[in-house]
Structure 1
C-alpha cells in the first residue's frame, strides 16, 4: 500500500468494501491485471476466480450523449451543464479521496491486526461517489434480478404496474388491494385518475435486452437506477415512480421502462455505462442520427443509440431534477418534440422494411410452393412414364414369352405331326394290306371321312379294332405322299406289327384318343366306338355284319363330324 498513489489507494479501499474484505495483495494484483479498472476487477472477483491474472473485458455500449437540453434548474429554467459535469465529478472524487484516505489506512491496519490475531474483521463501507455496497451473488440471472426488484418496488410503494395491476373494478371503487402477484389484470390507461397509485410497466429483462428493443423497434427507453444507500431513493419511489401523469406519459408514448438497484450486477454495469454520479438516476435513450454528418450522409447512415438526457438527485420539491413534474415537462416540452419526428420516420422505415421482408418471404414461399408443385407434377409424370414403361416391358415380355411358347408348341406339334405321319405311312404299308379279307367270310365297313369322302373295305371278322383305326388313319395321308415311299419299319424300334402298335399307343401319355386324333362312331344310331387294344371287330355291337362308321376329328378339344350320309350305296353282305 505504501508504494501506491493516493487514487490507487482509494480504488483498493473501494474494492475491499465491495468484495467484503479480500486480501489486499490479491486485490492489488487483480487491479494491476485489469489496468486499475474497479468495474472489471469487481466482476473478476465475483466470478469466483482469483487464481489467475487474466483481464475481464466487459462490452460497453458506445452511446452518443445528447445532454444539450436535459437539466432543469430549481427556478424552472433549462441550463446546459454537460460542460461542467465532468469537472464537478473530478472535484468531488478528489474531496472524497482526501477524506477517505485516513479511513482506508486505519481499516487496513485494523484488518492486518485482526487477521494476525485470527479474529474476524467486519468490512467497512464508505459511501463515496463511486463506492457501492457489496453486489448480490453473480449467479443471479439479470431477468430474475429485474423481476425481483419490480416485485419489491410493488410491495414497497403499494402501487401496481399500469398494464399488470389490480382489477378495473378496484380502481373504480377505490378498494384497496395488495401488490399484484398474479398480474392477470390491467389498468385502463384512458380512465387513469391522478389519485391512482400506479407504476410504469417495467420491462422484466436485462439492460442489454432494453437496448436491443430500442434499436429494433425504434422506442424510447427510460432507465431508472437507485441505490438503497441514498436517502432520496425512498421518496423518489413514492412520489415520482407512482405519479400518474409521469407514468401515463411514458405509457402513451410507448416507452420501454427498465430499472434496478446498483447492488445487482446488471444495474451496476448500466450505471457505469451511463456515468451515473448520484441516485436516484434516470436516463432517456433512443436512436438518433449520427452527429457531424451532412443531412444527406445522415439519411444514408444508420442511426446510433444516444443518451438523450440524464436526471439525478432529489425528487422533491416539484422543481427537483427527478420530480415527476420536472420529468413530465422535460418529456412533453423538450425530449418528445425533439426525437419523435425522427423516430416516426425510423419506425415507418422499419415497417416498410418489415413489409418488404414479409412480401419477399411470401414471394419466396409462393415460388417454393410453385416449384414444389412443378416438381411434384414432374415427379408424377416421370413416375407414370416409368410405370407405363414397366407395363409395356411386362407386356412385351409376356408377348415374347407367349410367342416363344407358341413357337415351341408349334415346333412340338410339327415334330409330333411328322412323327404321326410316319406312323400313318408305316401303317398304310404294313398294317392296312394285311387287314383285307382274302377268303372266307368278311365284314364290309364303309368309312365316311371328314371331307365327306366315303370308302369301303372288307375286313376279316378276326381283324382287330386297331386295323379299322389304322385304315381310317391311313386315309388322312395327303395325296402327295406316295405309298411306295412309305417306311418299312415303325418309327419306334421293336414295335413292328399290330401288337407293337397297341403297346406303343397304350404307353402314350395323353391317351389313345389324343394319339389317334380322331374318333370312330356308328353313323346311325350314332354310337362312339372307343379304341381298345386287341379287340376284334366281330365283338363290336353293330359291326358284326358290317356297317358304316364316321371319322370325327378333334379340333382344339371340339369334335367336328361331317354330315351323316345316306345309306343308298351301302350293302351288307354275309356268307
Structure 2
C-alpha cells in the first residue's frame, strides 16, 4: 500500500502516537506498519517484537485473528498497562485509569557527591562523545539501528519512563509541595484546592470515599499552558466549581517534568497539553476498577471545562450514590452487629462482675465465720486457762496474818463490781501477792481451792487490772516491783481498775 493512499487523519490520536513510535523504531513505511499494528491491536511493544521476529508485513500472507486481550485488573497497577491503554478500541466507552505506584523514598535517586562528580567527569565526557559518535553513524547508516533493534525494543519502555528534565527527584509529598510552590510563584496565590500528596494517595482516597478525582497535567514548555492556566484554571468559575463540597472532587495536578506526573500522563495516554481528566470508580467494569470518564485536552474555556466535568459527574453520580448507599447500609449492618456484640460483651462482663462479687462476698463471709470461730475458740481457751491458773495460784496465796502479828499492811480494796474488801497482808510480801489475791478473790471466796490444781502449759498470765490510790491518785504497777509496805505503806485505800475494758470496747 502506498503512503499516498493512506489517510492518517482517520486514525485516533492514540493510534497516530502508536504509529509514530513504531515507525521511529523500525523505520518502516506506513503501508506496512499500519496492518501490523492493526493485527497487534495497536500495541507498539507487541508490534515491534513481531516485526523483529520476522513476521511478514503483508496482512494477506498470514491471517492472525484479532482476539481481544482479557483485562487483568492487577495489570492496572503497573506502568506498562498505561501504554497498553492506548491500544483500546475507540468504541470502548470507558478507559481504565491505572494506579501509578510511586517509587519508594529509599530508592529515590540522590545526586552524587561533588568529589565523585569531579572524579567521574572524564568518564562522563568520554561516554557522551562515544554515544554521539554512534548517533552520527546511525544517522549516516540507517540500517545500523536494526542491528540493535531487540535492545531498543526491550529498553523502550524504560527509556520512555526516564526523566530527562534534570529536575531533582523527590518523594511524592515533596514533589506535590514543590509543584504547588512553583505554581504559586508563577501564577500567584490562588484558591485551587490542591491535593498535597501523590497521585497514588489521591487515587486511593477517591476510590475509598467514592469521590471524583480531577487530574490536571501541565507541560511548562507548551505554548498554551500559561494562557490556559490564567484564563481557565484560575478563573473564578472553575475554582468555585472545584471547591464546592457538593461536587465531591479531589483535585490533583502535576508537572510532566516530574517523574510521577510523567508516568501518569503515559498511563492516561495524554498526547496534548494542557490536559485534564476525571477519574471515578466504575462498578460496571468490576467492583474495584477506576476509569477515566472524561478527557479534556488542549485549550478550553472555563465554561467548557466546567460543563465537561459536570457532565461526567452527573452521568456517574447515580451509580456512585447507589454504591455509597450500599456501603452505608453495610456499614450500618456492621455497626449494628458491633453494637450487639458490645452489648453482649457488656452483659457478659456484668454477669462476670456479679459472679465475682458474689464469690468474693461468699469468701468474705467464710473468712468472717472462720475468724469468729477462731476468736471464740481462743476466748474459750483463754477462759479455761485463766480458770485453771486461778485454781493453781489460789493454792499458793499466803493466808491473812493473825491479829497478833504487828508487821502487817492493812489494805482496803474496792472491787470492780463495787464490793469493798479489807484484808491484812504481811509487810514483806511482794506487790504481786496483792495482785494475785485480787485476781483469785472469787476462787478464794468460793472455797474451790484444790491442792491438785496444775498450772496450764504454755500459758503466761497477764493481769488485766491495776491498783490505784484515789487521793492523791497513784498507780501501783507490777513493773515497779518491791514489797507491799515499800510501795503502799502501812495502810492503803485502793481501787481495782480494769485495763481490758478499752480492748473490749474496740472489739465490740
Q: TM-score, normalised by structure 2?
A: 0.48
Q: Kindly indicate which of the two structures has a greater share of residues assigned to helix.
A: 2
Structure whose alpha-carbon radius of gyration is higher? 1
Q: TM-score, normalised by structure 1?
A: 0.43
